[in-house]
Amino acid sequence: MSRELSLAEVFQLGYYWETKILLTAVKLDVFSAIDERPKAVQDIAGRIQADEPTLALLLNALVAMKLLTKEGDLYGNSSASLKHLVRHSAQYVGHLLLLHDAEWNNWGQLEETIRTGRRAVDRHVFETDPELGSNVLAVLHRIGQQSGPDFAKRLKLTGSERLLDLGGGAGTNAIAFCQVYSELRATVLDLPATLKLTEKTIKDAGLESRITLYPGDFNRDQLGGPYDVVLMSDILHYQTFQMNQDLVKKAFESLAPGGRLIVKDRFLDEAGTGPAWTTAFTIHILVNTQHGSCYKCRDAMQWLTQSGFGSVVELEKTAVVQGVKP
C-alpha cells in the first residue's frame, strides 16, 4: 500500500497561486517583453501596458519562482524562460500555457458541473478557437517528434501502403510513420482550420509527395479508402461513447480486408483510478469539452468488436488498442 500523504503534501495539492502567476505572466507576455536584455520595471510596464507598481509585485514573485532574475533594479529572463517562454524562441511552449489560462474560467465552474452534471462549454477548443488549437498542436508536434518514430516502429507496419490518420492534427504521427516506413503513403483528415498547420509541418518534413491533406469532419464526411491502416490518436476523448462506436464502424468500412485500426488514447484502468495523470485529465475533459470523456480500454475493445474487427487486443497498457478487419 502507498504511504499516507503528509499535511504539507495535502496543502501543496490545493496550492495554485504560482500556477496562476505563471499563466498570467505568459498571457501578458512578460518574458518576451524582457527578451535577452534585463530591463527595469518601467520599461517592461511600458512594453506590455501594465500598471508599474502592480507589475513589480508579479515580477518579484517570478524571481522567487526562478523564472526571472533580478540584479539591482533590472529584471532578466532565466535560461529556462529565455528558451521556452519568449515568443520568438524555436522552443517556445507558451501556447500550451495560454490554453490552460483560457480554460481557467471553465475550471471555476467545476463545483457546479459536479453538482449538476452540466458542462461549462458547448464546443471544444479546436472548434471555438482554431488559432489557439493549432498553436497548441504545433507545440505538441515539436514534443511528439521525439516519440513518434518509436511508436511507429513498435506497431510493425512493414508491408502497409496506405494510412489514414483521422484527426491527425499537425501530422505528427503521419510524418513519423512515413519516415519509418518508406513504402507508406498517408492521408491526414482533420478540420480545415487545423490543416493549415499540417500543410506547413508536412512541407518542413519534405513529405508533400507522400502525405495528402483531407479537410473534413470525421463524424459527418466519408473517410475514403480503402486503407491498410487507420489511426485514431487522441481524438476519441472529445466524443461520446456512441459517437466513438459510430466512428470505429466507419473506420472499419474504410479499411481493406486484413487492414488494422489502431486507437491510441488516454485510457483509464478498470477501477478508473489510474493512471494518475489520466484521472486528472478526465476532469480536464469534463470541464473543457461539451461531451468528451476518458474511456477504458474495455470500451474501445467493445467498439472494435461490435464493428466487426477480429484479433482485438490492448497492444499497450491503457494506451493502444488494435483490431484487424477479417
Ligand X SMILES: C[S@@+](CC[C@H](N)C(=O)[O-])C[C@H]1O[C@@H](n2cnc3c(N)ncnc32)[C@H](O)[C@@H]1O
Query: Which residues of this protein are in contact with ligand X, per CB under 6 A?
Result: 126, 137, 144, 167-169, 172-173, 190-191, 194, 217-219, 233-235, 238
CB 234 to ligand X: min, Å: 4
What value does the CA radius of gyration of the chain take, rounded to a whole number of Å?
22
Helices (H) and strands (E) in the chain, counts: 16, 10
* Residue type at position 76: G
CB 314 to ligand X: min, Å: 18
Nearer to ligand X (CB atom), residue 141 or residue 162: 141
CB 106 to ligand X: min, Å: 17
Nearer to ligand X (CB atom), residue 19 or residue 219: 219
CB 152 to ligand X: min, Å: 12
Q: What is the dihedral of CA 231, 233, 238, 242, to 10 degrees?
A: 40
If DSSP states are collapsed to H, E and C, what string results for 160-199? CCEEEEECCCCCHHHHHHHHHCCCCEEEEEECHHHHHHHH
Nearer to ligand X (CB atom), residue 38 or residue 148: 148
Nearer to ligand X (CB atom), residue 165 or residue 299: 165
CB 33 to ligand X: min, Å: 30
Span between the terminal Cα atoms of the chain, in Å: 44
User: For residues 284-323, b (16+ Cβ closer than 10 Å) or e, as one string?
Assistant: bbbbbbebbbbbbbebbbbbbeebebeebebbeebbbbbb
Query: Three cell numbers at 248?
Result: 470505429
**Cα–Cα distance for residue pair 10/221, rounded to 1 Å:** 48
Nearer to ligand X (CB atom), residue 94 or residue 169: 169
* Residue number of the CB atom closest to ligand X: 169
Nearer to ligand X (CB atom), residue 213 or residue 255: 213
Among candidate residues 34, 35, 79, 82, the one with its CA nearest the CA of residue 58: 34
Nearer to ligand X (CB atom), residue 137 or residue 297: 137
Query: Three cell numbers at 87?
Result: 515568443
CB 54 to ligand X: min, Å: 36
**Cα–Cα distance for residue pair 173/222, rounded to 1 Å:** 21
CB 192 to ligand X: min, Å: 9
